[in-house]
Amino acid sequence: MLSQPQLMGLDQSHLIDVDGHQLEPRTAEAFKQLQAAARTAGFDLQCANSWRSFDDQLSIYNGKVMGKRPLIDEEGHPLNLETISDNELLRAVFAWSALPGTSRHHWGTDIDFFDGNAISREGLKLEHGEYQGRATNGRLSRWLEDNQTRFGFFRPYSKQLGGSQYKPWHLSFAPVALPAMASFDDNQLAKQLRLTKLALKSRILERLPELLRRNFYHITPAPAQALLFNPK
């Protein structure tokens, strides 16, 4: 079981390196097996993003809240920070990015994928259109829909859930990720956030239970079959 510091992206001692990406060991083995199956089917399944530290997530969050990074609405249109309230700002940020300490990428169990046969990592934008129909990652995405479960993976943001936006590129290894979420300690997160230089900190802390319920715990359920996979 992952420790609370590991769950919040403060400790990466549980991870191993896989082609330059840091992954939890069981996740790493399962992903290698999924890659091999995808290769047989004619795809080059690659990882765009894997583990992310608390500080990296903090930089993303603060950058968006402070106007130093692009901010878009749920439809992908640019937002003007001067015309929206703090609550509207937080809603827009959390539609696409996690609160520091709550990113599933902190665990080493979650991956943003792409097809290396169709697009380079540098050319990838992680936009919906890249994963639909005949787009660059569309065929791989459809293949994964039919095959990801038997290797233990599922897509926690496979539809718009009211908090986090639909993210077809996001894979999660259920046998480790679901117990990780179940053991997450909201109080430990609150303590960590109080010690952090976090934009809109007071607003975040007063709304923390609601934000966690809406943006962290509310995911697409993993199929029961995914939980049964045991990489060897």
Residues 6+ apart with CB under 8 A from 83: none
Residues 6+ apart with CB under 8 A from 145: none
Please give the Cα distance from 68 to 29 (Å, whole number).
37
CATH number at residue 174: 3.30.1380.10
Asked whether the beta carbons of 110 and 102 are under 8 A apart, the reply is: no
Q: Which residues pair with 53 in a beta bridge?
A: none
As for how many domains the chain has, the answer is 1
- Residue-range definition of the domain harbouring residue 177: 4-227
User: pLDDT tens digit string along 126-162?
Assistant: 999 999 998 999 999 999 999 999 999 999 999 767 6
Instruction: Give the pLDDT confidence score for residue 75 in this predicted structure.
Output: 74
Return the residue matching tokens 């979420």. 181
Q: What is the mean pLDDT of the chain?
A: 95
Q: How confident is the model at residue 73 (pLDDT cuts 50, 70, 90)?
A: confident
Q: Is residue 223 part of a domain?
A: yes
Burial class from Cβ neighbours inside 10 Å (0-12, 13-18, 19+) for residue 171 reads: buried
Return the residue matching tokens 């936006």. 165
Q: Is residue 56 part of a domain?
A: yes
Q: Is residue 232 part of a domain?
A: no
Please give the Cα distance from 125 to 120 (Å, whole number).
10
The sign of the dihedral angle between the CA atoms of 203, 206, 210, 211 is positive
Instruction: Give the pLDDT confidence score for residue 162 in this predicted structure.
Output: 65
Asked whether the beta carbons of 62 and 199 are under 8 A apart, the reply is: yes
Q: Is residue 120 part of a domain?
A: yes
